[in-house]
């Protein structure tokens, strides 16, 4: 839906509202024409139904407005004496069109001093639930969203079982593009197992102002760009057509930002020809071949002493050869002194050994997960040359991501030695938005940009800022399951994370004590 389509839709709603309510406005002592003026008519209506005027802002908040409209329909009917259960059901089932019946076919009498207090406990309960849903939806959509770490791609910075709060306001909250969606869930309604949204209508991409942009080394939550593809490296052509904001949520580290040149050499990331400087809390991990001495390993000690949480597996029992799937360099220094370790060698895919699963997934480059690139990460307003070499790097960017940004279909193809865009020969292209290169710290156990490419700006969800709970799925009892040292710690910053749980509990005790003594004094 373009801005013009959105304007026409709003105009249609205004016309529908006017013809369904103008007589009701008159009965309430207002002028009939007040029902025809956009925004102003909503302010007047809220006065008529004895509700706060600022509710009008909630009508322009996607998803929240879906909750507000039924409330307004029911409140309007009740303000003119239609307050039976049947009236309420008819208003909701007819999507508010029951108001037309009240407007034209009933002798409606305006109840000016109507009590807003629910006449039953069930009505009071429903009202409280609606208010809670509206408030929670606003927080969830525009301020802070809970998120769970499902994989080990960012160990040891973020662990499997960490429960995060993801800030929407750091990079600027996105206005939901999917206009009709079940509140506070992602793409599927829990338990029911059905889609939580309708694909139409789709609103244009908009983002509220943030106070920072995505910085190199930031940990970022984003919508997985290739989630529309049934199987990214499958040529069957079958797709799941998901809206941008309903694609699966991923969390990775932005190792490259818009305008950077990036290359991976023997597993080490180079940005603008300089080794990537990670933050102190970042602990990259790699896989290693381990030659044992025949004594075996205690799996519990591997986790507790050496931090090997992704496991150790046999490669060759006869030669006593193992593979450590992931370990940091600090833990590796300790592990090399293990009594069963003879030698340790990092597993590196050699330069020139092509991996068909690596971006740009066309079989025309000899890149792999450890030797990759160099590539340029597109920046808004910057122009690149389009030729046979760069065609595959930017094809999906131009056809899909740039097309989504502009709301148009784009087709990039090669005829002979010439690149064509929408049937016209082109030698260059100017990007319309910024892009990022996202990777996991667990270098050999992370499905990231090395496999599916760039992350567009319009796919950025937010920035993880706080760990409020952390559960160890391998623990045997509840007390050990909770990683107490990680509770109420920040995601960013330098040095070892500090838990603020004690300060939080002290604050709760002070608030409870203050309320107790205030009530006792009264």
Domain assignments of the chain as residue spans, ordered by start: 3-116, 119-242+457-521, 285-346
**According to the model, what pLDDT value does residue 121 have?**
63
Whole-number average pLDDT of the chain: 88
Span 224-232, mean pLDDT? Answer: 69
How far apart CA 208 and CA 174 sit, in angstroms, is 6
- Most confident range, picked from 171-185, 400-414, 423-437: 423-437
Structure tokens that stand for 220 in this block? 């970022």
pLDDT greater than 50 at residue 233: no
Given 153, 167, 196, 349, the catalytic residue: 153
The answer to whether residue 153 is catalytic is yes
**According to the model, what pLDDT value does residue 239 have?**
53
Task: Choose among 146, 131, 150: nearest CA to 52.
Answer: 131
Span 18-26, mean pLDDT? Answer: 92
Q: What is the pLDDT of residues 419-465, one digit of tens each?
A: 999 999 999 999 999 999 999 999 999 999 999 999 999 999 999 99
Span 267-283, mean pLDDT? Answer: 92
Structure tokens that stand for 107 in this block? 């002798």
pLDDT greater than 80 at residue 234: no
- Kindly report the pTM of this predicted structure: 0.85
pLDDT greater than 80 at residue 209: yes
For residues 33, 94, 6, 226, the Cα torsion angle rounded to the nearest 10 degrees is 160
**Sorting pLDDT into bands at 50, 70 and 90, what band is 120?**
low
**Sorting pLDDT into bands at 50, 70 and 90, what band is 232?**
very low
Asked which of 53-62, 158-167, 405-414 is least confident by mean pLDDT, the reply is 405-414
Q: What is the pLDDT of residues 344-367, one digit of tens each?
A: 999 999 999 999 889 998 888 999
**Any residues with CB less than 8 A from the CB of 442 and at least 6 apart, and which?**
152, 153, 154, 155, 284, 285, 310, 326
DSSP 8-state code for residue 247: S
**According to the model, what pLDDT value does residue 3 have?**
65
Q: What is the pLDDT of residues 478-490, one digit of tens each?
A: 778 898 889 999 9
**According to the model, what pLDDT value does residue 188 have?**
85
- The topology under which CATH files domain 285-346 is Alpha-Beta Plaits (3.30.70)
The answer to whether residue 247 is catalytic is no
Q: Exposed, middle or buried by CB within 10 Å (0-12, 13-18, 19+), for 181?
A: buried
Span 99-126, mean pLDDT? Answer: 77
Given 156, 246, 252, 283, the catalytic residue: 252
Span 117-128, mean pLDDT? Answer: 63
pLDDT greater than 90 at residue 92: no
């Amino acid at each position: 839906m373009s801005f013009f389509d959105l304007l026409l839709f709003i105009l249609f709603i205004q016309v529908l509202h006017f013809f369904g309510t103008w007589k009701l406005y008159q009965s309430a002592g207002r002028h009939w024409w007040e029902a025809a003026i956009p925004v102003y008519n909503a302010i007047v209506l809220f006065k008529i139904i004895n509700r706060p005027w600022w509710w009008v802002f909630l009508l322009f908040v996607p998803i929240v407005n879906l909750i507000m409209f039924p409330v307004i329909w029911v409140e309007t009917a009740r303000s003119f004496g239609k307050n039976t259960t049947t009236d309420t059901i008819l208003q909701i089932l007819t999507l508010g069109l029951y108001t037309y019946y009240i407007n034209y076919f009933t002798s409606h009498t305006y109840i000016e001093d109507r009590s807003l207090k629910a006449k039953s406990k069930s009505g009071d309960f429903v009202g409280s639930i609606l208010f809670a849903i509206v408030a929670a939806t606003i927080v969830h959509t525009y301020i802070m969203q809970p998120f769970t770490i499902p994989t080990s791609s960012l160990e040891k910075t973020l662990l499997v079982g960490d429960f995060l709060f993801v800030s929407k306001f750091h990079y600027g909250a996105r206005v939901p593009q999917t206009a009709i969606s079940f509140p506070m869930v992602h793409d599927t309604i829990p338990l029911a197992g059905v889609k939580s949204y309708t694909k139409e209508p789709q609103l244009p991409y908009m983002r509220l102002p943030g106070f920072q942009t995505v910085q190199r080394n930031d940990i970022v939550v984003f919508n997985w760009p290739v989630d529309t593809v049934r199987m990214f490296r499958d040529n069957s052509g079958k797709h799941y057509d998901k809206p941008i904001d309903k694609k699966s949520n991923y969390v990775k580290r932005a190792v490259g930002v818009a305008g950077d040149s990036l290359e991976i050499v023997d597993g080490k990331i180079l940005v603008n020809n300089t080794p990537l400087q990670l933050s102190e809390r970042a602990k990259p991990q790699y896989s290693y071949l381990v030659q044992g001495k025949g004594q075996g390993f205690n799996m519990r000690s591997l986790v507790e002493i050496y931090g090997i949480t992704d496991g150790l597996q046999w490669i060759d029992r006869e030669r006593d050869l193992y593979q450590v799937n992931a370990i940091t360099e600090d833990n590796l220094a300790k592990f090399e002194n293990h009594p069963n370790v003879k030698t340790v060698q990092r597993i590196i895919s050699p330069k020139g050994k092509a991996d068909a699963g690596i971006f740009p997934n066309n079989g025309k480059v000899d890149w792999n997960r450890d030797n990759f690139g160099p590539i340029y990460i597109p920046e808004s307003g910057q122009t690149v040359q389009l030729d046979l070499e760069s065609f595959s790097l930017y094809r999906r960017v131009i056809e899909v991501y740039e097309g989504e940004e502009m709301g148009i279909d784009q087709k990039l193809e090669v005829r002979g030695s010439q690149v064509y865009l929408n049937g016209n020969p082109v030698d260059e292209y100017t990007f319309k938005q910024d892009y990022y290169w996202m990777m996991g710290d667990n270098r050999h156990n992370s499905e990231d940009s090395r496999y599916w490419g760039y992350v567009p700006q319009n796919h950025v969800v937010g920035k993880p800022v706080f760990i409020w709970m952390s559960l160890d799925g391998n623990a045997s009892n509840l007390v050990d399951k909770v990683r107490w040292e990680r509770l109420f710690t920040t995601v960013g910053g330098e040095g070892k994370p500090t838990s603020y749980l004690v300060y939080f509990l002290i604050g709760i005790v002070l608030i409870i004590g203050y309320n107790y003594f205030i009530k006792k004094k009264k």
